Amino acid sequence: MLTNPPAELFASAEARSTRADVSDTAVWTLSGHGQRVLFVHGFRGDHHGLQAVAGALANLTVVSPDLPGFGKSAALAQHNLSSYSDWLIDFYTSTGPFDLVVGHSFGTLVVANAIANGLPAGKVCLINPITTRGSTSKSIGNKLAEIYYRIGKNRILGSWLMSSGLVTRSMSIGLTKTKNRWTRSFIHEQHSRYFSSYKSTRVAIEGFQAANSGSVFDYADSLTGPILLIAGSSDAVAPISEQRRLNEVLPDSELVVLEKVGHLSHYEKPVEIAIAITKFLGTE
């Protein structure tokens, strides 16, 4: 287990990574001697989003693909939860088995949907799981996001707005909770480099619609195995009250709450997440 600052953990993970694609999916494997873990990143980013956590898990083998249509992976014909679920099941079949499947944010919806459709995952970790359906949320942030992606469909303004550095920085500032200026700088740099790595505006809009339409609660009946929930106490996207309710609903789940952290816990507290994962796996 490494306990370096996030930027150093990221660099360590990059040094351990080797790329070997599986069909149209770009895949990075971080070498290790312990158990195998599959990472499923969140919306609009790519595998880099979870690299600091992977860097802290120095003794585990981490397999980290780019979701279809993001990063270096090819796009799908359609980007909805069903198609992402099919992709994950196929990917797991080709590269598994894994001792743990980890999803962050939108990735938690993909993982939960896939489990409901037969993904043979044993232990599961959901980081900042989506527990509030965006399409029915009345929050100002979600309403602004809906307007943003609606404008994104415009043939003249859409492409420019979607990749706007100003919008990306505003989002990054709004979601970052840490007061550590080095960590804040690292987060902003990561978002600047990777937040617009989607293949086309269509991919980003369809991805948003998929992320906005679901909740992990939709799949609660299928989530019967051991599940580690990791939540931020100040998460505006996935409120802590709903994380606690999810913990109560899932029969074999445990909840770890990271204090003074929002939706970017994977950037702000990668060591704490890695510690929780190793304890959950029994490898500490």
Q: Hey, how many other C-beta atoms are within 10 angstroms of the C-beta on 157? A: 12
pLDDT at 138 over 70: no
**At 137, is the pLDDT very low, low, confident or very high (cuts 50, 70, 90)?**
low
- Please tell me the pTM assigned to this model: 0.94
Closest C-alpha among 18, 8, 15, 26 to residue 186: 8
Radius of gyration (Cα) for the chain, nearest Å?
17
Q: Which pLDDT tens digit goes with each residue over 180-197?
A: 999 999 999 999 999 988
Side chain identity, residue 241:
S
Q: Is 22 exposed, middle or buried (0-12, 13-18, 19+ CB in 10 A)?
A: middle
Rounded Cα distance between 17 and 2, Å, is 16
Q: Can you state the angle between helices 140-151 and 201-212, rounded to 10 degrees?
A: 150
CATH tag, 6-281: 3.40.50.1820
Rounded Cα distance between 73 and 194, Å, is 13
**At 136, is the pLDDT very low, low, confident or very high (cuts 50, 70, 90)?**
low
Rounded Cα distance between 42 and 211, Å, is 9
Closest C-alpha among 56, 18, 22 to residue 266: 56
Residue 65 Cα distances to 95, 189, 246, angstroms = 11, 21, 27
Residue 199 Cα distances to 72, 74, 76, 144, 152, angstroms = 8, 8, 10, 23, 14
Higher-pLDDT residue of 180 and 137 is: 180
Half-sphere exposure of 72 (CA within 13 A, CB side): 13
Strand partners, 101: 38, 124
pLDDT reported for residue 189 = 95
Alpha-helix residue ranges (DSSP H) falling in 102-239: 106-116, 140-151, 158-162, 165-175, 181-194, 201-212
Strand partners, 126: 103, 229
Domain ranges of the chain: 6-281
- Say what percent of the chain tops pLDDT 70: 96
pLDDT reported for residue 134 = 65
Closest C-alpha among 172, 256, 183, 179 to residue 9: 183
Tell me which of 82-91, 145-154, 161-170 is least confident.
Answer: 145-154
Q: Across the chain, what does the average pLDDT equal?
A: 92
